[in-house]
Structure 1
Amino acid sequence: MERKLIAIDLDGTTLNAAAEIAPRTKAVLKEARAAGHIVSIVTGRPNRISANIYDELGLDSPMINFNGSLGYLPHQDWADEYQYTFNKEVAFDLLTHREELGINMIAAEGKNLFLAVRDQPVEVGFFPSVLQANQILNQKTLQENPTSLTVAVDRGHQEHLLSYLQHNFADEIDAAPWGGPNSVVELGVKGVQKATGVEFLANHYHIARKDIIAFGDEHNDTAMIDYAGWGVAMQNATPAIKALANDITPLDNDHDGLATYLQDYLKLAE
């Protein structure tokens, strides 16, 4: 079998509902690598909360974070590392208008950047419940252009925020609401998606599109599933992702759906 590039989303795909890697998933991904295939994480998560998963899987491939905006080799300096950023004035504008836009929290992030501000406690899993003094986002502390802005907004204000961003910053950024229970809008560089990262990986490893297999479950996986030669939706994926994919895993992310599918697809030994 031709060498495959296996692009794996984390939440809802490689990770179970407890955000953990099941032993079987870990074992199958290890087998896939032993068989000569490349396994690479392609996630919306920041690097600060995915490097631990990368290490747990024992990977040595580049990792793609922030939905395609950062590509790097964890724990080392790498000449081919890339990071897309947008103008920090977008963050300053939202800070200025946060009351009228119903914004409860803004986090500005990049590879080595994490600053946030919140007016009230926001239970969003990815963010520290207590901010350190050196993590407060304001006009003075944000010195560099961010890779990502994550904005928690009152549910009733989300449409207004999206139209405000569209009206003011459509040339610079794409804004996408998260799936799931939290009313959160994520901002990234216009036109950069997970497929950007997958294409970068494919070029790096000289792998043809037909030999890319990608697994995902949510709207931020759309471009990646579409770009891959073989796009696979998880059993627990959104209807839109299932409709787009070449195939759907029989089992969900709580029952080793990715591992079971991959073992069969790559014809790995039981």
Structure 2
Amino acid sequence: MTQKLIAIDLDGTTLNNQSQLSPKTIQTLKRATQAGHIVSIVTGRPNRLSQQFYDQLALKTPMINFNGSLGHVPHKHWSKEYQYTFNRDIVFDLLQHQRDFDVELIAAEGKHLFLAHQDKPVELGFFPVQLKANELLSQQSLTQNPTSMTIAVKRPQQKRLQAYIEDKFGDQVDVSPWGGPNSVLEICAKGIQKAVGVERLAHYYGISRDNIIAFGDEHNDDEMITYAGVGVAMKNATDHLKSLADDVTPLTNEEDGLADYLGRALKLAE
């Protein structure tokens, strides 16, 4: 069978609703690797919150984090590693204006960077509830340009804050609201999204677009699903993503939808 590049989103796609890999998913993705296909995680998550899944799947491939902004091989040096960043002055500006927009948390991240500022603990799951002293974000502590900035903001102010950032810094960064219940804005370098990472993987492995299979469920997967030869939306995906996809899994992420689909598509015998 022709070698495929399989690009997998994590939350709502490869992971179940408890943010875990099921035994069937692990087994299927390991079978795909053993059959000679390239399985690569392509996620909005930072590397600090993805590496456990990478290790569970026993992957050796590059991993794409921060929606395409970071490409690296965990645990080793990769000559093609890349990281897109933006000017830290944007973070400082938003720190100064956080009261004007009811901002609850600002986090600046990169491959080896995690700093956050919060007035009171925010329950978001992706961030520690209590910050350690060396994780506090300030003009003094942020000494490098970040790859990603995440802002938790009270819902009534979300659109106003997004408009402010786009108006003032729109030539340098893109702003995307998270899907789901949390009122969160994510900021990254202009024009960078998951398809940028997938394209780099395809070039690195010499795989044509028509041999890329990508799985996703949310708006941050739009470009990747469109870019891939076969873009697959999960049954639980947004209606918009399903409209862009070449196919939709018959089962959800809770029902091992990705493993079920891939097992049949690649004829991975159990």
With structure 1 as the length reference, what TM-score do the two structures score? 0.99
> Distance in 2 between the 1:220 and 1:208 partners?
22
Q: Counterpart of 1:223?
A: 223
User: What is the CA–CA distance in structure 1 between the aligned matches of 2:125 and 2:183, rounded to whole Å?
Assistant: 12
* Letter paired with 1:127: F
Q: Which one-letter code corresponds to 2:60 in the other structure?
A: D
The answer as to 2:238 corresponding to 1:245 is no
SS at match of 1:200: helix
Specify the SS of the correspondent of 1:100: helix
State yes or no: 1:142 paired with 2:131. Answer: no
Give, as a single letter, the amino acid of the residue that structure 2 aligns with 1:219: H
Percent identity among equivalent residues? 61
Computed over aligned residues only, the root mean square deviation of the Cα atoms, in angstroms, reads: 0.5
Q: Is contact 2:121–2:130 with CA below 8 Å preserved after alignment?
A: no
For residue 215 of structure 2, give the secondary structure of its aligned residue in structure 1. Answer: strand
| Number of the residue aligned with 2:171 | 171
Match of 2:36 in 1: 36
Could you list the structure 1 runs, at least 4 aligned residues long, displaced by more than 3 angstroms after superposition: none
Unmatched runs of 5 consecutive residues or more in structure 1:
none
Residue 16 of structure 2 corresponds to residue 16 of structure 1: yes
1:151 is paired with a residue whose SS is strand
The letter of the residue matching 1:103 is V
Partner of 1:192: 192
Structure 1 residue 102 displacement after superposition:
1.4
Cα shift readout 1:59-85 (whole Å, capped 9, x = no counterpart): 000000000000000001222100000
Q: Contact 2:3 / 2:211 at 8 angstroms: preserved in 1?
A: yes
The reply on whether 1:60 has 2:57 as its aligned counterpart is no
2:73 is matched with 73
Task: Name the TM-score, length of structure 2 as normaliser.
Answer: 0.99
CA distance in 2, matches of 1:166, 1:65: 23
Report the equivalent of 2:100: 100
* Unpaired segments ≥5 residues, structure 2: none
Letter in 2 for 1:170: G
The CA deviation at 1:141 is 0.3
> 1:98-133: per-residue Cα shift (whole Å, max 9, x none)?
000111100000000000000122111100111000
SS at match of 2:146: coil
Range that drifts further, 114-123 or 221-230: 114-123
For residues 125-159 of structure 1, what are the alpha-carbon distances to aligned partners after superposition, in whole Å with 9 as ceiling and x for unaligned? 10011100011000000000000000000000000
Q: Does 1:152 align with 2:152?
A: yes
Aligned-residue offset at 1:30: 0.6
Is contact 2:91-2:108 (8 Å) kept? yes
